[in-house]
Structure 1
């Protein structure tokens, strides 16, 4: 399918990819803590018949330097842009911290018809990096809504990694310990999936070493089922934190983090999930395409 790809720098840095002739389906694509603009993922979605928009939502001009009290309104404004491009069905595809944002956004913006959360969380977590004031401490919420911090779980400062200095660190134990240390905060910070009207698809690997995304995903499925809101989960036991969709290149080097999985296992999970991702978002074979 022929597509067009446009980059822009205002009101945020971003990229918009769309099929020739446009689409009635618009998808906001949110990266995780890398902060990158997901150009390749937008291209992939555009080739599947959707208009795809990815923006830099922290670390840019006028934005927090880290994931610290990021206004969720940043994303509602991006949805405004998709609607000006003719989108009638709106989806959000987020990975990791972007999945956290996507799930929170679906609670607050009734325009969202579908959410795909890759390596998700069931809770709102504390900040990673500095806010607009340049300060990283004390820990604050990752997000705000209408100027108020979203309830969150802080990190247990007494936790120390098992790995030797200089080795990549697995942070899953930190998240598991922190939710136990701050159990009451964790109850308040639960993402209220029972309030969703959007369709939800979760994608999680059983070997995620960055945070326990499969455990989080199963919690979301369970709470959704209890509220009569079915949530689909696609998983494989050997994939890690970074599933790759068909046609996407290899991930960036892990650096100081252990993500789990292998390139082969991560690609296999992405390939397994891809038909459902296209379907729930409303691509060529999805609900919006056949309506």
Structure 2
């Protein structure tokens, strides 16, 4: 399918990719803590017949340089823009921290018809990097809504990586330990995904070494099932933190972090989830609800 790309500079930096002739399905694509505008993923979705928008939601001019107190209203504005280009169904596809934002957005904006959460979390975490003030501490929420911080879990600064200095770090145990240390905050930081009517697809690898996304996805699915709104969970035991969709190249090598999985397993998980992803975004996913 032929596609067209449009660079966006206002009201935020981004890219919109659409099929020639347009689409009645619009998808907001939210990358993770890389902060990148995910052009490749937008192209994949556009070739599947959807209009896809990806924005820089931190790290740009006038924005926090880290994921710190990011207004969820920024994504509401992105949906406003998306609806001017594709006036029908709205989906949000988020990866990692982007999945955290996507799930929170669905709870707050009833226009969200579907969420695809890749390597998600079931709870809200503290900031990753500095806020608009340039400071990383004290810990603050990753997100705000209507000017108020969303309840969050702080990191346990007593945690130390298992790897030797200079080796790529496995962060999973940091999240696990922090959640145990701050158990009371963790209860308040749960993402109440049962409150949205949006269709939900959860994609998580059992070998995720960044954070325990499969456990998180199972918790999200359980919350949905408890109110009779089943989510679709797609997983594999050997995939890591970075599933890849059909048409995407392998994730880049990192000397800083261990993500788990292999290029083959990560691609296989993305392929296994692809039909459910497309069906949910298009409104054709049948989950029994």
TM-score range relative to shorter protein: over 0.9
Structure-1 residue corresponding to 2:197: 197
Q: How does 1:228-247 map to 2 (within 5 A)?
A: 228-247=228-247
Residue of structure 2 equivalent to 1:98: 98
Give the whole-Å Cα distance in 1 for the aligned partners of 2:124 and 2:154: 9
Q: Which residue of 2 is the match for residue 270 of structure 1?
A: 270
Give the structure-1-normalised TM-score: 0.96
In structure 2, how many angstroms separate the alpha carbons of the residues matched to 1:189 and 1:15?
32
Instruction: Say whether the 8 Å CA contact 1:68–1:141 is kept in structure 2.
Output: yes
Contact 2:36 2:56 in 1 (8 A): yes
2:183 alignment counterpart: 183
3-state SS, counterpart of residue 16 of structure 2: strand
> Is 1:35–2:35 an aligned residue pair?
yes
Alignment of 1:130-141 (within 5 A): 130-141=130-141
Separation in 2, partners of 1:255, 1:42: 27
Does structure 2 conserve the Cα–Cα contact (< 8 Å) formed by 1:69 and 1:142?
Answer: yes
**Counterpart in the other structure of 1:144:** 144
- Alignment pair present for 1:18 and 2:18: yes
Residue 210 of structure 1 aligns with which residue?
210
Q: Which runs of 5+ in 1 are unaligned?
A: none
Aligned length: 285
**Is the partner of 2:113 in helix, strand or coil?**
strand
Q: What's the offset of the Cα at 1:157? A: 0.6
Given that 1:221 and 1:232 are in contact with CA atoms closer than 8 Å, whether structure 2 keeps it comes out as yes
User: Which residue of the partner structure matches residue 55 of structure 1?
Assistant: 55
Shift of 1:62: 1.1
CA drift of 1:13 comes to: 1.4
- TM-score using structure 2 length: 0.97
The residue that corresponds to 1:2 in the other structure is 2
Distance 2:50 2:86 in 1: 11
How big is the shift at 1:21? 1.0
2:121 and 2:254 mapped to 1: Cα distance? Answer: 20
Task: Find the residue that maps to 2:267 and give its secondary structure.
Answer: helix
State the 1:202 CA deviation: 0.1
Q: Deviation per CA, 1:123-157: give whole Å up to 9, x if none.
A: 00000000001111111000000010000000001
The CA distance in 1 between the partners of 2:182 and 2:12, in whole Å, is 35
CA distance in 2, matches of 1:86, 1:142: 29
CA distance in 1, matches of 2:130, 2:29: 23
Q: Aligned partners of 1:260 and 1:195: how far apart in 2?
A: 32
Deviation, 1:255, is 2.5
- 1:244 aligned counterpart, secondary structure: coil
Q: Which residue of 2 aligns with 1:166?
A: 166
CA distance in 1, matches of 2:146, 2:124: 17
Q: Distance in 1 between matches of 2:86 and 2:230?
A: 29
Q: 1:92 and 1:18 mapped to 2: Cα distance?
A: 15
Residue 260 of structure 2 is matched in structure 1 by: 260
Deviations 1:229-248 (A, max 9, x none): 21110000000000000110
**C-alpha deviation, 1:10, in angstroms:** 2.2
Structure 1 residue 226: Cα displacement? 1.4
Aligned to 2:225: 225
SS of equivalent to 2:58: coil
RMSD over equivalenced CA pairs, Å: 1.0
Is the 1:51–1:87 Cα contact (8 Å) retained in structure 2? no
